[in-house]
Amino acid sequence: MSLAYPRKLDLACTPTPLQYLERASQRWGRGHRLWVKRDDLTGCTLSGNKVRKLEFIAAHALDNDYDTLITCGGLQSNHARATAFVGAQTGLKVHLLLRGDTPAQADGNLLLDHLAGATVSCYPKAQYVAEIDDLFRHWQQHYAAAGRRALAIPTGGSDGIGAWGYIRACEELAGDFAREGIESAHIVTASGSGGTQAGLTLGVALHQLPATVWGVAVCDDESYFLNKVAEDANDWANRYQQLPLPDIEPRVLDGYVGRGYGIAEDHIFELIADLASLEGLVLDPVYTGKAFAGMLAEIEKGRFASCRDIVFVHTGGIFGVFAQRDRFNS
Protein backbone atom coordinates (compact mmCIF):
# COMPACT_ATOMS: atom_id res chain seq x y z
CA MET A 1 0.00 0.00 0.00
CA SER A 2 1.23 3.48 -0.85
CA LEU A 3 0.89 5.60 2.30
CA ALA A 4 0.86 9.37 2.69
CA TYR A 5 3.14 9.79 5.70
CA PRO A 6 3.07 12.86 7.92
CA ARG A 7 6.22 14.97 7.93
CA LYS A 8 9.22 13.59 9.76
CA LEU A 9 12.67 14.87 10.57
CA ASP A 10 15.68 13.08 9.08
CA LEU A 11 17.51 12.12 12.25
CA ALA A 12 18.06 8.36 12.02
CA CYS A 13 20.64 6.57 9.90
CA THR A 14 18.22 4.48 7.88
CA PRO A 15 17.68 2.10 6.25
CA THR A 16 19.36 -0.19 8.75
CA PRO A 17 20.85 -3.50 7.62
CA LEU A 18 19.20 -6.89 7.95
CA GLN A 19 22.01 -9.16 9.10
CA TYR A 20 22.04 -12.95 8.90
CA LEU A 21 23.32 -14.57 12.09
CA GLU A 22 25.02 -17.63 10.64
CA ARG A 23 26.72 -18.95 13.79
CA ALA A 24 23.76 -18.14 16.03
CA SER A 25 21.50 -19.97 13.57
CA GLN A 26 23.73 -23.02 13.77
CA ARG A 27 23.82 -22.96 17.58
CA TRP A 28 20.24 -22.05 18.43
CA GLY A 29 18.14 -21.99 15.27
CA ARG A 30 17.00 -25.63 15.10
CA GLY A 31 16.71 -25.34 11.34
CA HIS A 32 15.56 -21.70 11.33
CA ARG A 33 17.51 -18.89 9.78
CA LEU A 34 18.00 -16.14 12.39
CA TRP A 35 18.21 -12.56 11.18
CA VAL A 36 18.58 -9.28 13.05
CA LYS A 37 17.23 -5.92 11.91
CA ARG A 38 20.04 -3.68 13.13
CA ASP A 39 18.12 -0.77 14.58
CA ASP A 40 20.91 -0.47 17.11
CA LEU A 41 22.69 1.22 14.17
CA THR A 42 20.23 4.11 13.72
CA GLY A 43 22.89 6.46 15.08
CA CYS A 44 25.33 6.91 17.93
CA THR A 45 23.63 8.89 20.69
CA LEU A 46 20.34 8.28 18.85
CA SER A 47 20.88 4.53 18.49
CA GLY A 48 17.91 2.24 18.88
CA ASN A 49 14.25 2.14 18.01
CA LYS A 50 13.15 5.36 19.69
CA VAL A 51 14.57 7.72 17.09
CA ARG A 52 12.28 6.25 14.42
CA LYS A 53 9.30 7.36 16.51
CA LEU A 54 10.87 10.66 17.52
CA GLU A 55 11.44 11.68 13.89
CA PHE A 56 7.65 11.96 13.57
CA ILE A 57 6.98 13.23 17.11
CA ALA A 58 9.57 16.02 16.93
CA ALA A 59 8.26 17.10 13.51
CA HIS A 60 4.77 17.25 15.01
CA ALA A 61 6.11 19.36 17.89
CA LEU A 62 7.85 21.85 15.60
CA ASP A 63 4.90 22.04 13.22
CA ASN A 64 2.56 22.87 16.12
CA ASP A 65 4.72 25.51 17.80
CA TYR A 66 5.92 23.45 20.76
CA ASP A 67 9.31 24.51 22.11
CA THR A 68 9.66 21.95 24.91
CA LEU A 69 9.40 18.17 25.11
CA ILE A 70 8.47 16.43 28.36
CA THR A 71 8.72 12.66 28.57
CA CYS A 72 9.25 9.92 31.11
CA GLY A 73 10.88 6.57 31.79
CA GLY A 74 13.30 4.69 34.01
CA LEU A 75 16.71 6.00 35.03
CA GLN A 76 18.28 4.06 32.14
CA SER A 77 15.52 4.82 29.65
CA ASN A 78 16.70 4.59 26.04
CA HIS A 79 13.73 6.72 25.03
CA ALA A 80 14.64 9.46 27.49
CA ARG A 81 18.24 9.52 26.22
CA ALA A 82 17.11 9.62 22.58
CA THR A 83 14.63 12.42 23.36
CA ALA A 84 17.38 14.39 25.09
CA PHE A 85 19.58 14.24 21.99
CA VAL A 86 16.72 14.92 19.58
CA GLY A 87 16.10 18.07 21.60
CA ALA A 88 19.76 19.02 21.42
CA GLN A 89 19.78 18.52 17.65
CA THR A 90 16.56 20.44 16.99
CA GLY A 91 16.76 23.24 19.57
CA LEU A 92 13.84 21.92 21.60
CA LYS A 93 14.16 22.03 25.39
CA VAL A 94 13.79 18.58 26.98
CA HIS A 95 12.58 17.74 30.49
CA LEU A 96 12.79 14.11 31.61
CA LEU A 97 10.65 12.70 34.42
CA LEU A 98 12.52 9.59 35.55
CA ARG A 99 11.49 6.71 37.80
CA GLY A 100 13.97 6.02 40.61
CA ASP A 101 16.06 7.74 43.23
CA THR A 102 18.78 10.09 42.05
CA PRO A 103 22.00 8.03 41.99
CA ALA A 104 25.21 9.28 43.57
CA GLN A 105 26.88 9.08 40.17
CA ALA A 106 25.19 9.19 36.76
CA ASP A 107 26.08 6.35 34.40
CA GLY A 108 24.94 4.94 31.07
CA ASN A 109 21.90 6.64 29.58
CA LEU A 110 21.46 8.93 32.59
CA LEU A 111 24.94 10.37 32.11
CA LEU A 112 24.12 11.01 28.46
CA ASP A 113 20.84 12.70 29.41
CA HIS A 114 22.82 15.27 31.37
CA LEU A 115 25.45 15.69 28.66
CA ALA A 116 22.67 16.48 26.16
CA GLY A 117 21.51 19.31 28.40
CA ALA A 118 18.17 17.82 29.42
CA THR A 119 16.49 18.86 32.65
CA VAL A 120 16.17 15.71 34.75
CA SER A 121 13.71 15.21 37.61
CA CYS A 122 13.89 11.90 39.48
CA TYR A 123 10.99 10.52 41.52
CA PRO A 124 10.83 7.50 43.85
CA LYS A 125 9.10 4.57 42.16
CA ALA A 126 5.94 4.71 44.29
CA GLN A 127 5.45 8.44 43.66
CA TYR A 128 6.22 8.07 39.95
CA VAL A 129 3.68 5.27 39.47
CA ALA A 130 0.96 7.03 41.45
CA GLU A 131 1.49 10.56 40.15
CA ILE A 132 3.01 10.46 36.65
CA ASP A 133 -0.08 11.96 34.98
CA ASP A 134 -0.15 14.75 37.57
CA LEU A 135 3.57 15.34 37.11
CA PHE A 136 3.10 15.79 33.38
CA ARG A 137 0.31 18.30 34.01
CA HIS A 138 2.36 20.13 36.65
CA TRP A 139 5.35 20.63 34.38
CA GLN A 140 3.24 21.58 31.37
CA GLN A 141 1.58 24.26 33.50
CA HIS A 142 4.99 25.33 34.80
CA TYR A 143 6.29 25.89 31.28
CA ALA A 144 3.06 27.57 30.17
CA ALA A 145 3.43 30.06 33.02
CA ALA A 146 6.92 30.82 31.71
CA GLY A 147 5.55 31.47 28.23
CA ARG A 148 6.61 28.12 26.78
CA ARG A 149 4.59 25.40 25.08
CA ALA A 150 5.41 21.85 26.19
CA LEU A 151 4.44 18.62 24.42
CA ALA A 152 3.89 15.62 26.69
CA ILE A 153 5.33 12.48 25.06
CA PRO A 154 4.18 9.18 26.58
CA THR A 155 6.54 6.47 27.78
CA GLY A 156 8.62 5.18 24.88
CA GLY A 157 7.07 7.64 22.44
CA SER A 158 4.33 5.06 22.13
CA ASP A 159 1.20 6.56 20.63
CA GLY A 160 -0.43 7.06 17.26
CA ILE A 161 2.22 9.54 16.10
CA GLY A 162 5.15 7.38 17.17
CA ALA A 163 3.60 4.34 15.47
CA TRP A 164 4.59 5.82 12.12
CA GLY A 165 8.22 5.05 12.86
CA TYR A 166 7.76 1.31 12.57
CA ILE A 167 5.05 1.49 9.95
CA ARG A 168 7.77 3.08 7.84
CA ALA A 169 10.35 0.52 8.99
CA CYS A 170 8.15 -2.18 7.48
CA GLU A 171 8.83 -0.64 4.07
CA GLU A 172 12.51 -1.35 4.72
CA LEU A 173 11.70 -4.88 5.80
CA ALA A 174 9.77 -5.46 2.57
CA GLY A 175 12.92 -4.58 0.64
CA ASP A 176 15.05 -6.70 2.98
CA PHE A 177 12.78 -9.71 2.46
CA ALA A 178 12.88 -9.36 -1.32
CA ARG A 179 16.66 -8.99 -1.37
CA GLU A 180 17.31 -11.97 0.93
CA GLY A 181 14.68 -14.27 -0.53
CA ILE A 182 12.58 -14.36 2.64
CA GLU A 183 9.14 -15.61 1.62
CA SER A 184 7.60 -15.51 5.10
CA ALA A 185 8.90 -14.72 8.56
CA HIS A 186 8.23 -14.31 12.23
CA ILE A 187 9.28 -10.86 13.47
CA VAL A 188 10.25 -10.70 17.16
CA THR A 189 10.80 -7.53 19.19
CA ALA A 190 11.04 -6.51 22.83
CA SER A 191 7.86 -4.90 24.17
CA GLY A 192 8.45 -2.43 26.98
CA SER A 193 6.01 0.37 26.14
CA GLY A 194 4.28 -1.41 23.25
CA GLY A 195 4.83 1.25 20.60
CA THR A 196 7.37 -0.58 18.46
CA GLN A 197 5.19 -3.67 18.44
CA ALA A 198 2.15 -1.56 17.54
CA GLY A 199 3.98 0.11 14.65
CA LEU A 200 5.31 -3.20 13.34
CA THR A 201 1.90 -4.84 13.63
CA LEU A 202 0.24 -1.99 11.75
CA GLY A 203 3.07 -1.82 9.22
CA VAL A 204 2.97 -5.53 8.41
CA ALA A 205 -0.77 -5.26 7.76
CA LEU A 206 -0.61 -2.01 5.78
CA HIS A 207 2.31 -3.13 3.62
CA GLN A 208 1.00 -6.70 3.36
CA LEU A 209 4.25 -8.24 4.53
CA PRO A 210 4.23 -12.05 4.76
CA ALA A 211 5.10 -11.93 8.44
CA THR A 212 3.75 -12.38 11.96
CA VAL A 213 4.83 -9.93 14.66
CA TRP A 214 5.55 -11.10 18.21
CA GLY A 215 6.32 -8.86 21.15
CA VAL A 216 8.31 -10.35 24.03
CA ALA A 217 7.03 -8.72 27.22
CA VAL A 218 9.95 -7.35 29.25
CA CYS A 219 7.58 -5.83 31.80
CA ASP A 220 3.88 -6.13 32.60
CA ASP A 221 2.18 -9.12 30.93
CA GLU A 222 0.39 -10.43 27.85
CA SER A 223 -2.96 -8.84 28.72
CA TYR A 224 -1.36 -5.42 29.16
CA PHE A 225 0.41 -5.48 25.80
CA LEU A 226 -2.55 -6.87 23.88
CA ASN A 227 -4.51 -3.87 25.14
CA LYS A 228 -1.65 -1.40 24.64
CA VAL A 229 -1.00 -2.38 21.01
CA ALA A 230 -4.71 -2.11 20.27
CA GLU A 231 -4.83 1.27 22.04
CA ASP A 232 -1.91 2.67 20.02
CA ALA A 233 -3.42 1.34 16.79
CA ASN A 234 -6.75 2.99 17.59
CA ASP A 235 -5.00 6.25 18.46
CA TRP A 236 -3.24 6.11 15.08
CA ALA A 237 -6.57 5.49 13.31
CA ASN A 238 -8.28 8.34 15.16
CA ARG A 239 -5.50 10.80 14.35
CA TYR A 240 -5.25 9.84 10.68
CA GLN A 241 -8.81 9.09 9.70
CA GLN A 242 -8.06 9.24 5.99
CA LEU A 243 -6.39 5.83 6.38
CA PRO A 244 -8.32 2.64 7.14
CA LEU A 245 -7.43 0.75 10.31
CA PRO A 246 -6.38 -2.69 9.08
CA ASP A 247 -7.35 -5.89 10.82
CA ILE A 248 -4.57 -6.70 13.27
CA GLU A 249 -3.97 -9.53 15.72
CA PRO A 250 -1.34 -8.58 18.30
CA ARG A 251 0.71 -11.48 19.66
CA VAL A 252 2.68 -11.43 22.89
CA LEU A 253 5.22 -13.87 24.29
CA ASP A 254 4.89 -13.82 28.06
CA GLY A 255 6.91 -15.33 30.87
CA TYR A 256 10.29 -13.68 30.21
CA VAL A 257 10.14 -10.66 32.52
CA GLY A 258 12.03 -12.52 35.24
CA ARG A 259 12.03 -10.83 38.65
CA GLY A 260 10.86 -7.53 37.21
CA TYR A 261 11.44 -4.73 34.72
CA GLY A 262 15.12 -3.87 34.42
CA ILE A 263 16.13 -6.83 36.59
CA ALA A 264 17.90 -9.54 34.61
CA GLU A 265 18.96 -12.93 35.88
CA ASP A 266 22.41 -14.43 35.40
CA HIS A 267 21.48 -16.38 32.27
CA ILE A 268 20.60 -13.13 30.47
CA PHE A 269 24.05 -11.69 31.11
CA GLU A 270 25.59 -14.98 29.98
CA LEU A 271 23.56 -14.86 26.76
CA ILE A 272 24.61 -11.25 26.11
CA ALA A 273 28.27 -12.24 26.47
CA ASP A 274 27.80 -15.39 24.34
CA LEU A 275 26.17 -13.53 21.47
CA ALA A 276 28.71 -10.70 21.62
CA SER A 277 31.60 -13.14 21.20
CA LEU A 278 29.73 -15.35 18.69
CA GLU A 279 28.40 -12.68 16.31
CA GLY A 280 29.81 -9.35 17.50
CA LEU A 281 26.27 -8.31 18.42
CA VAL A 282 25.68 -6.62 21.78
CA LEU A 283 22.29 -6.83 23.50
CA ASP A 284 21.24 -5.09 26.70
CA PRO A 285 19.92 -6.60 29.97
CA VAL A 286 16.68 -4.56 30.12
CA TYR A 287 15.10 -5.11 26.69
CA THR A 288 16.89 -6.99 23.94
CA GLY A 289 18.65 -9.51 26.17
CA LYS A 290 15.37 -10.72 27.64
CA ALA A 291 13.63 -10.60 24.26
CA PHE A 292 16.36 -12.61 22.51
CA ALA A 293 16.32 -15.16 25.33
CA GLY A 294 12.54 -15.41 25.00
CA MET A 295 12.83 -15.93 21.26
CA LEU A 296 15.33 -18.76 21.74
CA ALA A 297 13.09 -20.39 24.35
CA GLU A 298 10.13 -20.23 21.96
CA ILE A 299 12.25 -21.77 19.19
CA GLU A 300 12.92 -24.67 21.56
CA LYS A 301 9.16 -25.02 22.11
CA GLY A 302 8.46 -25.10 18.37
CA ARG A 303 6.52 -21.83 18.38
CA PHE A 304 7.92 -20.70 15.02
CA ALA A 305 7.75 -24.00 13.15
CA SER A 306 5.47 -22.52 10.48
CA CYS A 307 8.34 -20.85 8.59
CA ARG A 308 12.11 -20.94 8.28
CA ASP A 309 13.02 -17.30 8.86
CA ILE A 310 12.93 -15.40 12.16
CA VAL A 311 13.77 -11.69 12.24
CA PHE A 312 14.79 -10.17 15.56
CA VAL A 313 14.41 -6.39 15.69
CA HIS A 314 17.39 -5.07 17.67
CA THR A 315 16.00 -2.01 19.44
CA GLY A 316 19.35 -0.83 20.80
CA GLY A 317 20.18 -0.15 24.43
CA ILE A 318 23.96 -0.62 24.50
CA PHE A 319 24.45 2.31 26.90
CA GLY A 320 22.41 0.47 29.54
CA VAL A 321 25.08 -2.24 29.66
CA PHE A 322 27.52 0.07 31.44
CA ALA A 323 25.17 0.74 34.35
CA GLN A 324 25.17 -3.02 35.09
CA ARG A 325 28.83 -3.74 34.38
CA ASP A 326 29.26 -5.59 37.68
CA ARG A 327 26.89 -8.37 36.50
CA PHE A 328 29.23 -9.53 33.75
CA ASN A 329 31.91 -12.08 34.53
CA SER A 330 35.23 -10.83 33.18
Indicate which residues carry an active-site annotation: 77
Task: Name the strands in the sheet holding 252-253, side by side, starting at the edge strand that comes first in the sequence.
Answer: 18-20, 33-38, 309-314, 185-191, 211-217, 252-253
**Alpha-carbon distance values, 230 to 12, 66, 181, 237 (Å):** 26, 28, 31, 10
Q: Is 155 helix (H, G, I), strand (E, B) or coil?
A: helix
CB-based contact 66:102 (threshold 8 Å): no
How many residues belong to the chain? 330
The whole-angstrom separation of Cα 290 and Cα 287 is 6
The secondary structure of residue 187, as a DSSP letter, is E
What is the DSSP code string of 2-38? ---PPP----S--SPPEEE-HHHHHHH-TTPEEEEEE
